[in-house]
């Protein structure tokens, strides 16, 4: 360095150069640090942003699984429609932005060019309908009703129709196979809400909801939605800053949903629906002496249960609806018709959501309660025409008296006063108006043991639990209403309601004698669902086992391979011992042969000697309304329960209908002859249907001819022609149910 010549630099300049160098260095270091922060420390965050920037997802809806009946008939399936759709992204890549292609398309479809153009334009604030509301990357359907010829023209001249496809697309179809409607059982679909899409956004595969998804909103469609839905396919497209598609980032194909095999038999379902409708129609032609007008028969439910498994073979609810109204979006008018104030709520499944007092059908429970409380089955009990309890007179129906009778006879003839007496006796033993610390409450306890006051756990949504009006319920009801009662009482009115309110305000929480005895005949505040009763009568038939009612039998893959079976589930046992069960068996058979239902069964030619049926009728009182008809029955295979609101007596309202259901099941003609070849289902179908390799079920051709339009109640060929109005006078003078006080 010794030979450095004079550089012209002073020390000052040297220092300044060092300062300059340090400044430069620190600037570069700053950049490096910031780069590290962006790329290494926060890299994944920005990678996610970049992903969202340039990936657009086009969803391909999965074909929804089918709902099959026990033999594999399609109750809810899919209908293929030829849908012609237009991909905007492909159109916009054309030189003329697809104008020529759309013109050709309009020509092929026989639509005006303007109509087609309007359908594929995107909606915005200024664009009126029709316009496309969905994602601009999703193919836009122009028509769902293309003919095969139109589709061929489009697909064969692809170069003339860039971005236009004609594809068969699956739409939900409730087939009404064999004439079965089963609307409330099957349920319906409706589009996913924004909220549901947002909530499932962080999930993947099947659990992730796509904006194009349909979701089961009721019935089996809702409960088995996860099985039926399948996995939506996703086509990930790479797009540029203007949204033009520049490549593909992977594709997940759609996977069809699994099929659900149910225990429903479409043919039996059809019979049950028709018979319920017929029974209601008949009731409307029947004169009610009490209200001095024909019965309203505003709603009803009927079901058939396999007593050995709890599986439901048929379940009908009236009024009903056409589930196909929901396909492709329900119209506002239809929705109003189904849910409005004047609709009578056909969406309700009255077999599980309709609750009413069971009336005398409850007496099998009362009988069990009496035996549990220590009354002898061999004893005889007084059946006077009335009993005065707590200052009120409790009468038998039409003030009949039978003298001292057995419990069996009390069930057969449905003597109320026997059960009033037993319940009053028990109430007194439990301390009466000043209850003991730990009352036995045999009647309430037994009701709970029979599964009342609780949901059965059936695989349908929205089931109601009914109500056992025990001491606990009385207390909570009192707590909830005390203030209102006392307020009304304080007004000092003298109407009947005011008196009741005054009474309730003072001691509404106390179990009174009247409450107790009313409960013993299934009246008062007692509420049950038809399904609960079917389950109880099934248990009586099968030796005391309470099964959990089910409709789903198995989930099978689209190609027919079993995915999972839904096995019968035992929820409990009736408290009856074998002796009591056979006693009740005998008594309920007596109802068929010589009791309240005899005129509709053995009296109408039922071959009781060959096929033994058991029944209990019920005619429940409802304040301000006509009586509810209940008929709860069982054979060794099935329990059949029918109830009709404002439908008359148990046997009068439902007797013919329930008998005809049995006739159809066992192939019995009106004269009592049995033809096995005409029997719809002499044994419940235990096996799952067989499936072809393509996933369709192998269906045995039915010997029994299918009904016509499934909403039009025509009688099945196996049963007799409908009776035009059942004159009330034909009914035996004494019937079922409680005496009218």
Partner 1 sequence: MTSYGSYRPIRLSPQRRSLARVLAKDSPLRRLDWIMILAALTLSLGSSLLVWSATRGRDSLTHGDPQYFLYRHLTNLLIGLVLCGTVITIGNRRVRTAVPVVYVAVLLMLAAVLSPLGSTINGAHSWIQFGGGFSIQPAEFAKLGIVLGMALLLSARVDAGEREMPSDRSVLQALGLAGVPIGIVLLMPDVGSVMVMAVIILGILLASGAANRWVFGLLVAGTAGSIAVWQLGILSKYQIDRFAAFANPALDPSGVGYNTAQARIAIGSGGLTGMGLFHGTQTIGQFVPEQQTDFVFSVAGEELGFVGGIALIGLLGVVLWRACRIARQATDLFGTVVCAGVISWFAFQAFENIGMNLGIMPVAGIPLPFVSYGGSSMFAVWIAVGLLQSVRSQRPIGI
Q: Closer CB to partner 1, residue 27 or residue 570?
A: 27
Exactly one of 99, 168, 199, 246 binds partner 1 (CB under 8 A); that residue is: 246
Q: How many CA atoms lie within 13 A of 190 on its CB side?
A: 12
Q: Closer CB to partner 1, residue 21 or residue 127?
A: 21
> Counting beta carbons within 10 angstroms of the beta carbon of residue 75, is it exposed (0 to 12), middle (13 to 18) or buried (19 or more)?
buried
Strand 233-239 versus strand 245-252 pairing type: antiparallel
Please answer whether residues 313 and 268 qualify as being in contact, where contact means their C-beta atoms are separated by less than 8 angstroms.
yes
What's the closest the beta carbon of residue 57 comes to partner 1, in angstroms? 15
Strand 74-86 versus strand 140-143 pairing type: antiparallel
User: What residues between 2 and 61 interact with partner 1 by CB under 8 A?
Assistant: 3-10, 12-14, 16-17, 19-21, 23-25, 27-28, 30-32, 34-36, 38-40, 42-47, 49-51, 53-54
Write a three-state SS string for 54-108. HEEEEEECCCCCCEECCCCCEEEEEEEEEEEEECHHHHHCCCCCCHHHHHHHHHH
Total Cβ atoms within 10 A of residue 440: 16
Q: Closer CB to partner 1, residue 13 or residue 570?
A: 13
What's the closest the beta carbon of residue 26 comes to partner 1, in angstroms? 10
Please give the Cα distance from 533 to 307 (Å, whole number): 12
Q: Closer CB to partner 1, residue 36 or residue 339?
A: 36
Please give the Cα distance from 153 to 553 (Å, whole number): 44
What's the closest the beta carbon of residue 25 comes to partner 1, in angstroms? 8
Q: Closer CB to partner 1, residue 4 or residue 729?
A: 4
Nearest-5° Cα angle at 277, 272 to 281: 145
Please give the Cα distance from 551 to 457 (Å, whole number): 11
Decide: is 693 part of the binding site for partner 1 (CB under 8 A).
Answer: no
Phi-psi category of residue 178: left, alpha or beta, with phi > 0 → left and psi -120 to 50 → alpha: left
User: What residues between 520 and 559 interact with partner 1 by CB under 8 A?
Assistant: none
Rg (CA), the chain: 35
Decide: is 248 part of the binding site for partner 1 (CB under 8 A).
Answer: no
Q: Closer CB to partner 1, residue 22 or residue 487?
A: 22
Please answer whether residues 685 and 336 qualify as being in contact, where contact means their C-beta atoms are separated by less than 8 angstroms.
no
What's the closest the beta carbon of residue 33 comes to partner 1, in angstroms? 10
DSSP state of 20: H
Q: How many residues bind partner 1 (CB under 8 A)?
A: 49
In three-state secondary structure terms, 214 is: strand
Exactly one of 177, 239, 555, 719 binds partner 1 (CB under 8 A); that residue is: 239
Crossing angle (nearest 10°) for helices 578-593 and 363-372 = 150
Please give the Cα distance from 310 to 536 (Å, whole number): 10
Q: Closer CB to partner 1, residue 249 or residue 464?
A: 249
What's the closest the beta carbon of residue 53 comes to partner 1, in angstroms? 6
What's the closest the beta carbon of residue 312 comes to partner 1, in angstroms? 55
Decide: is 240 part of the binding site for partner 1 (CB under 8 A).
Answer: yes
Q: Closer CB to partner 1, residue 14 or residue 582?
A: 14
In three-state secondary structure terms, 42 is: coil
What's the closest the beta carbon of residue 98 comes to partner 1, in angstroms? 19
Exactly one of 57, 238, 298, 525 binds partner 1 (CB under 8 A); that residue is: 238
What's the closest the beta carbon of residue 136 comes to partner 1, in angstroms? 16
User: What residues between 274 and 313 interact with partner 1 by CB under 8 A?
Assistant: none
User: What residues between 584 and 643 interact with partner 1 by CB under 8 A?
Assistant: none
Q: Closer CB to partner 1, residue 25 or residue 484?
A: 25
Q: Closer CB to partner 1, residue 10 or residue 292?
A: 10
What's the closest the beta carbon of residue 158 comes to partner 1, in angstroms? 25
Please give the Cα distance from 470 to 495 (Å, whole number): 27
DSSP notation for 565-608: E----EEEE-S--HHHHHHHHHHHHHHHHTSTTGGGTGGGT--T
Binding mask 59-88 for partner 1 (x = CB under 8 A): ------------------------------
Q: Closer CB to partner 1, residue 31 or residue 484?
A: 31
What's the closest the beta carbon of residue 353 comes to partner 1, in angstroms? 51
What's the closest the beta carbon of residue 83 comes to partner 1, in angstroms? 30
Q: Closer CB to partner 1, residue 35 or residue 703?
A: 35
- Take residue 12 and report the two structure tokens written for it: 């000052």
Alpha carbon separation from 640 to 11, 82, 692 (Å, rounded)? 112, 43, 33
Q: Which residues bind partner 1 (CB under 8 A)?
A: 1, 3-10, 12-14, 16-17, 19-21, 23-25, 27-28, 30-32, 34-36, 38-40, 42-47, 49-51, 53-54, 238-242, 246-247
């Amino acid at each position: 360095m010794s030979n450095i010549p004079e550089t012209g630099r002073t020390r000052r300049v040297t220092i300044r150069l060092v300062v300059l160098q340090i400044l430069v260095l620190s600037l570069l270091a700053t950049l490096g640090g910031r780069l590290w922060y962006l790329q290494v420390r926060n890299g994944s965050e920005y990678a996610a942003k970049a992903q969202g920037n340039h990936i657009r997802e086009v969803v391909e809806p999965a074909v929804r699984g089918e709902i099959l009946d026990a033999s594999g008939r399609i109750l809810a399936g899919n209908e293929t429609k030829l849908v012609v759709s237009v991909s905007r992204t492909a159109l916009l890549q054309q030189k003329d932005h697809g104008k020529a292609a759309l013109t050709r398309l309009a020509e092929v479809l026989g639509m005006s060019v303007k109509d087609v153009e309007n359908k594929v334009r995107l909606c915005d604030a200024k664009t009126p309908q029709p316009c496309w509301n969905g994602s601009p990357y999703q193919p836009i359907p122009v028509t769902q009703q293309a003919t095969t010829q139109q589709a061929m023209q489009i697909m064969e001249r692809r170069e003339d129709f860039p971005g236009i496809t004609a594809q068969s697309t699956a739409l939900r179809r409730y087939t009404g196979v064999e004439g079965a409607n089963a609307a409330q059982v099957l349920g319906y679909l409706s589009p996913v809400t924004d909220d549901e899409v947002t909530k499932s956004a962080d999930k993947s595969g099947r659990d992730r909801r796509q904006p194009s998804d349909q979701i089961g909103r009721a019935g089996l469609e809702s409960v088995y939605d996860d099985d039926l839905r399948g996995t939506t396919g996703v086509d990930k497209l790479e797009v540029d800053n203007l949204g033009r598609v520049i490549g593909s980032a992977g594709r997940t194909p759609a996977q069809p949903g699994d099929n659900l095999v149910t225990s429903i038999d479409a043919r039996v379902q059809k019979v049950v629906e028709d018979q319920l409708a017929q029974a209601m129609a008949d009731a409307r032609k029947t004169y009610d002496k009490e209200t001095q007008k024909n019965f309203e028969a505003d709603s009803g439910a009927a079901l058939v249960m396999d007593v050995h498994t709890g599986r439901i073979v048929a379940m009908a609810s009236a009024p009903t609806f056409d589930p196909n109204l929901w396909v492709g979006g329900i119209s506002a008018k239809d929705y109003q018709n189904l849910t409005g104030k004047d609709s009578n709520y056909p969406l309700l499944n009255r077999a599980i959501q309709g609750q009413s007092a069971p009336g005398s059908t409850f007496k099998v429970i009362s009988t069990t309660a009496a035996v549990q409380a220590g009354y002898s089955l061999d004893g005889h009990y007084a059946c006077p025409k009335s009993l005065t309890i707590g200052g009120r007179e409790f009468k038998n129906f039409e003030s009949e008296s039978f003298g001292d009778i057995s419990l069996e006879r009390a069930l057969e003839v449905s003597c109320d006063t026997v059960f009033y007496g037993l319940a009053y006796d028990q109430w007194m033993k439990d301390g009466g108006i000043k209850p003991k610390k730990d009352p036995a409450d045999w009647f309430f306890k037994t009701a709970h043991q029979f599964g009342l006051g609780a949901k059965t756990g059936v695989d349908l949504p929205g089931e109601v639990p009914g109500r056992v009006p025990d001491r606990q319920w009385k207390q909570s009801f009192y707590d909830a209403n005390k203030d209102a009662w006392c307020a009304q009482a304080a007004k000092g009115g003298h109407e009947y309601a005011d008196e009741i309110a005054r009474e309730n305000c003072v001691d509404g929480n106390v179990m009174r004698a009247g409450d107790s005895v009313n409960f013993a005949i299934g009246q008062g505040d007692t509420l049950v669902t038809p399904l609960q009763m079917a389950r109880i009568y099934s248990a009586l038939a099968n030796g005391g086992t309470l099964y959990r009612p089910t409709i789903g039998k198995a989930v099978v893959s689209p190609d027919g391979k079993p995915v999972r079976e839904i096995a019968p589930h035992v929820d409990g046992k009736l408290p009856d011992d074998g002796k009591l069960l056979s006693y009740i068996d005998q008594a309920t058979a007596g109802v068929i042969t010589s009791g309240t239902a005899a005129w509709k069964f053995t009296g109408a030619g039922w071959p009781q000697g060959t096929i033994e049926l058991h029944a209990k009728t019920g005619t429940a009182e409802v304040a301000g309304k006509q009586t509810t008809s209940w008929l709860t029955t069982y054979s060794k295979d099935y329990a059949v329960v029918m109830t009709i609101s404002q439908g008359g007596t148990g046997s009068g309202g439902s007797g013919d209908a329930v008998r005809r259901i049995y006739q159809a099941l066992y192939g019995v003609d009106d004269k009592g002859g049995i033809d096995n070849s005409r029997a719809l289902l002499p044994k419940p179908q235990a096996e799952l249907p067989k499936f072809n390799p393509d996933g369709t079920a192998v269906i045995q051709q039915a010997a029994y001819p299918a009904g016509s339009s499934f909403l039009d109640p025509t009688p099945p060929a196996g049963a007799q022609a409908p009776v035009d109005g059942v004159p009330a006078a034909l009914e035996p003078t004494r019937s079922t149910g409680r005496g009218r006080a």
